């Protein structure tokens, strides 16, 4: 191989490796305890994060704590800016949010930590539990690539157990959602184990897949 060809291949490999290593732009919609904790873990893993809420001016301290690759914006800003969008809002907000973001999430991976509770979320929560939370997500946001994870682990455990080899179920069907969903789980310091969206209700609080497990334990529960 000539020196020129060698340099060409070396340059291509370097560029490819750099592209794989480049951080994502993650738009976090809902900057409460769960969204704030995960976003901070992702900033520390090398990603850029935009935290968003109805009052982004109130997120100054969170942005400062997360690090230099964090910033704040409106919900619409985060939806437009992010390569991947994280939904971490009370489920009762979904009808209004779906109208606000109509068309803005089409074709994007949406990573949802949002859970429906009938007591808190009323009819919206009850309907999502009955029809299946993943189906409800897709009805509110048609055209997305959906992944669901971190649905039954407290924010304190996310922080304390990060990097300790604990497994988290990732509910996703298509390759794009699986790949990015797994990357976000890994970069938050956990081990992703896949399950289909049809089983997403099992990963809600109190469900058989809720909590944090070793990888082998979670695979056994999933029948893998």
pLDDT higher than 80, residue 17: no
Asked if 94 and 136 touch (Cβ cutoff 8 Å), the reply is yes
Average the pLDDT over 189-218 and give the result. Answer: 95
- Assigned domain for 132 exists: yes
- Assigned domain for 14 exists: no
pLDDT at 224: 85
- Assigned domain for 162 exists: yes
**What CATH number is associated with residue 45?**
3.40.50.720
Q: How far is CA 95 from CA 11, 121, 123, in A?
A: 48, 11, 11
- Assigned domain for 78 exists: yes
- Assigned domain for 10 exists: no
- Assigned domain for 2 exists: no
pTM, 2 dp: 0.88
Host domain of residue 124: 21-222
pLDDT tens digits, 19-33: 335 899 999 999 999
pLDDT tens digits, 86-126: 999 999 999 999 999 999 999 999 999 999 999 999 999 99
At residue 38, the 3 state secondary structure works out as helix
pLDDT higher than 70, residue 51: yes
* Domains in the chain, number: 1
DSSP codes joined into one string, 109-151: EEEE-----HHHHHHHHHHHHHH-HHHHHHHHSTT-EEEE--S
**Per-chain mean pLDDT for the chain:** 91
| Distance, CA of 174 to CA of 92 (rounded, Å) | 26
Which of 4-13, 93-102, 166-175 shows the lowest per-residue confidence on average (mean pLDDT)? Answer: 4-13
């Amino acid at each position: 191989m000539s020196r020129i060809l060698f340099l060409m291949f070396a340059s291509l490999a370097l560029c490819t490796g750099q592209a794989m290593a480049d951080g994502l732009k993650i738009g976090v919609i809902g900057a409460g305890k769960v969204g704030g904790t995960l976003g901070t873990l992702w900033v520390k893993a090398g990603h850029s994060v935009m935290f968003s809420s109805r009052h982004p001016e109130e997120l100054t301290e969170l942005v400062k704590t997360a690090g230099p690759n964090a910033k704040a914006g409106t919900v619409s800003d985060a939806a437009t800016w992010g390569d991947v969008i994280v939904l971490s809002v009370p489920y009762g907000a979904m009808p209004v949010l779906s109208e606000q973001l109509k068309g803005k999430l089409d074709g994007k991976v949406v990573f949802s930590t949002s859970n429906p509770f009938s007591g808190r979320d009323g009819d919206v929560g009850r309907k999502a539990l009955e029809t299946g939370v993943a189906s409800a997500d897709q009805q509110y946001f048609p055209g997305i690539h959906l992944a669901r994870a971190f649905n039954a682990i407290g924010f304190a455990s996310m922080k304390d157990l990060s990097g300790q080899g604990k497994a988290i179920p990732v509910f996703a069907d298509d390759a794009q959602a699986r790949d990015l969903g797994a990357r976000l789980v890994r970069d938050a310091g956990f081990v992703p184990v896949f399950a289909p969206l049809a089983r997403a209700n099992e990963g809600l609080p109190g469900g058989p897949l809720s909590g944090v497990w070793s990888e082998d334990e979670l695979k056994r529960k999933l029948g893998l």
